[in-house]
Amino acid sequence: MPTSSIVELTEALRCLPGVGPKSAQRMAYHLLQHDREGAQRLEKALGRALCVVHRCRRCNTWTELELCECCASPHRDSSLLCVVETPVDLNMMEQTHAYNGLYYVLMGRISPLDGLGARQLGLEALLSRALDGVVKEVVLATNFTNEGEATAHYLSEMLKAHAISVTRIARGVPVGGELEFVDSGTLAQALRERRRLVEI
């Protein structure tokens, strides 16, 4: 029988996405047996990140500063606001080098099955961000999954009432596709060929 510390470590590792009991146990033994230095680095990095990383006041992504690098840059086009689901998606968009506007990170998507509605997503913050008087176009770059599409639809309806142009990135991204797994060339193309959802 594993000792209680090993059980505790294994249970703790299960908080990682996609890690079941068996892989958690394998990871725990791996760290203890083969990579104690790595385990210490992990402990330190995790502790530090939890301590200093928080949401960007403007775009909602993770940052150590008050404003993330992108929001703080004077070289970005602040009339463009791209809405993505996750910080990983934001990084994907940045890797395309095809977009020079700003972002808003939802940190999720509308997913009624998971009990995630518009209210849980805190869309008021996005709305006030989009209506700051500088933003002229909101580019919806949520995933092409059912939830991502539903979220894009909801957002375009929400923004329709306000005189703001809304576009959706084109379907170079496959149906059911998540931005995270699309190559940056395809994503750049989808961004260039975005279509207008709301005319003003």
Residues with Cβ within 8 Å of 41's Cβ and at least 6 positions away in sequence, in order, are none
CB of 131 to Zn ion, least distance (A): 17
User: What region does 60 belong to: left with phi over 0, alpha with psi -120 to 50, or beta?
Assistant: left
Rounded CA separation 49/99 (Å): 28
56 binds Zn ion (CB under 5 A): yes
Rounded CA separation 8/16 (Å): 14
From 6-14, 68-76, 148-156, 189-197, span contacting Zn ion (CB under 5 A): 68-76
| Residue whose C-alpha is closest to residue 158's, from 199, 108, 124, 121 | 124
83 binds Zn ion (CB under 5 A): no
Rounded CA separation 69/72 (Å): 5
CB of 125 to Zn ion, least distance (A): 12
CB of 129 to Zn ion, least distance (A): 10
Total site size for Zn ion, rule CB under 5 A: 5
From 15-23, 29-37, 70-78, 89-97, span contacting Zn ion (CB under 5 A): 70-78
80 binds Zn ion (CB under 5 A): no
Q: Can you read off the two tokens belonging to residue 50?
A: 């939890």
Q: Can you read off the two tokens belonging to residue 165?
A: 């142009």
From 61-69, 116-124, 129-137, 177-185, span contacting Zn ion (CB under 5 A): 61-69
93 binds Zn ion (CB under 5 A): no
* Interacting residue with Zn ion among 24, 28, 58, 155 (CB under 5 A): 58
Residues of this chain that bind Zn ion (CB under 5 A): 56, 58-59, 68, 71
